[in-house]
Structure 1
Amino acid sequence: MRVEIWSEIACPWCGLGSHRLDRAVERFEHGAEVEVIHRSFPLSDGFTVGSTISVREVLLRRYGLAGARLEASTRQIEAMAEQEGLSPYRVLDHQVGNTRLAHEFLAHASAEGKNRVAWNAIFRAYFGQARPVFDLDDLLGLADEIGLEREKTRRVLTEGRFGRQVQDDMETAQRLGATGTPYIVVDGRYALPGAQDTDTLLGILRQVWDETHPTVLVADNDAAICGQDGCAVPADHVAHA
């Protein structure tokens, strides 16, 4: 079973949604047979490349949130994350910027076989440690942490090798109906917008599994059957031969 999740790095619901999906897969009876793939959905093109701004300032400019209202709206997300085992989870007290380069880093890491490792690392760095993840040096530090070759990563990002792939990921999500993040598609059958709770995700995994894997009914453990090693003759047939 394949589960794809489209995310924006600096979206607090995406970090929480990714965590919930991991928990659902851990609880799923067939979790070992689930392939989780993270994909990019950058939403930060309104930010200038090479500079950052505080999350507080962004929320004030865009939504007019400040003071007690700002604290209440963001601390609620942090509290939800803490209840689900993500602590610390810092939504308010850090910087935000253009994430295109970070998404290219994640695409490179995925090509190197580190899709989930890289996404987990970048969410942990940004929301868990309030570290910036926007410029080349930030990302090279992450490359060191997850075992990517530093100089190769530098060349890949400097040359923009994965820019087209990041855009393709986003356009694919939009064709599938996504208008924001996170956006989850389970086995190409069900699309789930938003940070669904763990129980909902677990229920969907079970539903899709049941729809795609027939239940084997065993009426007779000694039934005649042919396999790779030949055809077995039931014991009662031998006895009456």
Structure 2
Amino acid sequence: MRVEIWSDIACPWCYVGKARFEKALAGFAHRDEIEVVHRSFELDPGRAKGDTEQVVDMLAQKYGRTVEEARGMEANVAANAQAEGLGYRTEGRDHGNTFDIHRLLHLAKARGLQEELLTLVYRANFAEERSVFDDAVLAGLALEARRAGGAARALEDDPQAGAPELRADEREAAELGANAVPFFVLDRRYGISGGQPAEVFTQALEQAWKDREVPGLTQVGGDAAACDADGSCEVPAASASDQRV
């Protein structure tokens, strides 16, 4: 059975949701028969390459909040991340265009290294003192992912390398009605939006496995924190308890 995950590394709920899904998958009886495929979704495609700003400043401007309120928003996400055993820096993180990152992940996928590189990029962006929007940092992460250094060189040599795969992912997301990430699709039958609790992913995996011959896409799980197509990443008030705030 295939599980496809649409996400953007700029999305904190994608970072948290990935950990929650992996927790559910680890306890799933048929985990060895699950193929996980990561798909691309850009949250800020209109931002120019190299145009970066501090996340706290971006949040304050985007939502019309004070800097202190924006710091509170980041602290809320950090609490959710830390509850999943993830590192999360609330200060000093950059926000920028993720086009090159998605392209690199697609090139790494062709080498069987997408999962490893994605984990490294998430960690660097959210937990470490490294900006993944810096070309040198991104190339260094590719080198850390064993043989993915060649993918980084291909990215430099061809400004469109990986772009067709990225655009194909985004077209599929639109066709499936995905307007926020993370968005999980289980065997093209069940859709889960947002960084749901691990228990929701467990139930969905079990149901999708049971109903493998049933066609059509069904949405499961209630509202959960997600980042939508305009880059908004606020926590829905009605789902605060689900997010373990």
Structure 2 length normalisation: TM-score? 0.81
After superposition, the C-alpha distances for 1:54-113 in whole angstroms (9 at most, x for unaligned) are 111211211112244222222111111111211x21255311111100110101111111
What is the Cα deviation at residue 150 of structure 1? 2.7
Shift in CA distance, 92/40, structure 1 to aligned 2, threshold 3 Å: farther
Query: What's the counterpart of residue 113 of structure 1?
Result: 112
Q: Quote the residue 1:176 is aligned against.
A: 176
Number of residue-to-residue matches in the alignment: 212
Conserved? CA contact 1:107–1:165, under 8 Å: yes
Unpaired runs of 5+ residues, structure 1, are 214-241
Mean Cα displacement is larger for which, 67-76 or 158-167? 67-76
Offset, 1:161: 1.2
8 Å CA contact 2:107–2:151 kept in 1: the answer is no
Q: Distance in 2 between matches of 1:57 and 1:138?
A: 22
Alignment of 1:70-81 (within 5 A): 70-81=70-81
Bigger radius of gyration, 1 or 2? 1
CA–CA separation in structure 1 for the residues paired with 2:209 and 2:151: 40
1:54-93 equivalences under 5 Å are 54-86=54-86, 88-93=87-92
Q: What is the distance in 2 between the residues matched to 1:152 and 1:182?
A: 25
Cα distance, 1:115–1:151 mapped onto 2, change above 3 Å: closer
Cα distance in 2 for partners of 1:140, 1:209 equals 38
The letter of the residue matching 2:197 is D
The farther-off stretch of 44-53 and 98-107 is: 44-53
Cα distance in 2 for partners of 1:47, 1:116 equals 26
Instruction: Say yes or no: does 1:31 pair with 2:15.
Output: no
Deviates more, 1:4-13 or 1:123-132: 123-132
Displacement of 1:121 in angstroms is 1.3
Contact 1:143-1:150 within 8 A present in 2 as well = yes
Mean CA deviation greater in 169-178 or 47-56: 47-56
Distance 1:113 1:130 in 2: 27
**Contact 1:37–1:115 at 8 Å: present in 2 too?**
no
Structure 2 CA distance for aligned equivalents of residues 99 and 19 of structure 1: 21
Contact 1:122–1:142, Cα closer than 8 Å, also in 2: yes
CA contact (8 A) 1:56 1:66 kept: no
Provide the secondary structure at the position in 1 that maps to 2:4. Answer: strand
Higher mean alpha-carbon deviation, 100-109 vs 126-135, is at 126-135
SS at match of 1:129: coil
Match of 1:7 in 2: 7
Contact 2:14/2:195 (CA < 8 Å) preserved in 1?
yes
Aligned equivalent of 2:198: 198
Which runs of 5 or more residues in structure 2 are unaligned? 214-245
Deviations 1:171-202 (A, max 9, x none): 11111110011111001101111111100000
Gap change, CA 1:58 and 1:152, over 3 Å in 2: closer
Q: Does the 8 A contact of 1:105 with 1:157 survive in 2?
A: no
Distance 1:54 1:68 in 2: 14
